[in-house]
Amino acid sequence: MSWKSTLILTSTLFLTMLVAGGGSAYIGYQMGEEALKGVTQPDVNSNQRLKKDRVIGKYKGLKLISEREILVNVYNLTHKNTKFNNTSPEKKTAKSKQLINFKQPQETTPFVPIRDEVEGVSMEIVEAQQQGNSLLLNVTIRNESSKSVRFLYSFLDVRDDRGRALSAISDGLPGELPANGEEFRGTLRIPTVLLDNAQKISVTLTDYPEQKLELKLKDIPVTR
C-alpha cells in the first residue's frame, strides 16, 4: 500500500470518528434537555418563604371561644343533671313532695315575687339571694289544671338582660307535676361568675316532651 492510500484511509477513519462523536454529543444533549424540563431555579429566600407560609397557615380557620362560653361549658360539665330519670312517676312525685326549707339570709333585699301562669300551671319565684358563689332562686310551682304535666329542668332557659345564656341547677322541683293543685318548692342555683354586670335575668320553662306550655319569668333582679 502506497503512502497516498494510507493517507486517504487515515483521513476517512478520522472523519468517521468525528461524525460519530458529534452525533453522540447531540443525542446526549437532547436527552439531558428533556430530563430537565419543568425544573426551575431554587428560590434563594426559600427559608423566609417557608417561614412566612408557616405563620400564615398557623392561624387559618382558627375559631376563638369566649371566656364566658368556656365558663358555661365547664359549669355544665361539673354540675350536670341527669336528663332522663328511670324511676317511676310515683317515685318522682313522692320525692318531689319533700319540701325545701328556705333559709332566710342574714341581710335580705326587698323582693317582689314574680309569677307566671299558663293553663292552670303556675310558677313563682318568691325570693332571690346570694349564697356563696351562687345566686339562689327560691321557686314554687303548682298545677291546677285537669292533667299532669312533665318538666325536664335540664332544658331550662335562663338568660341575663343582655341575652346571654346562663347555667342553672334545679333542686327539689318535681319532674312530673300532678293535677291536684299541690304546691311544690325548689331552688334554682346560678353561678355568680356568669352574672358579670348583669342586673336582671329571665327564666323560661316548657313542658316535656310536647313543649306546648311555656312559663316565662322576666325581670328577676340579681342580688349581690
| pLDDT over threshold 50, residue 84 | no
CATH of residue 178? 2.60.40.1230
| Residue 155 · residue 206 · CB < 8 Å | yes
> Cα(126)–Cα(115) distance, rounded to whole angstroms?
8
Model pLDDT, residue 70: 73
Whether the model clears a pTM of 0.85, i.e. scores above it, the answer is: no
Residue 216 lies in a domain: yes
For the chain, what is the domain count?
1
Residue 103 lies in a domain: yes
Model pLDDT, residue 218: 95
Cis peptide before 221 (omega within 30 of 0): no
Give the side-chain half-sphere CA count within 13 A for 222: 21
Residues 6+ apart with CB under 8 A from 81: 153, 154, 169, 170
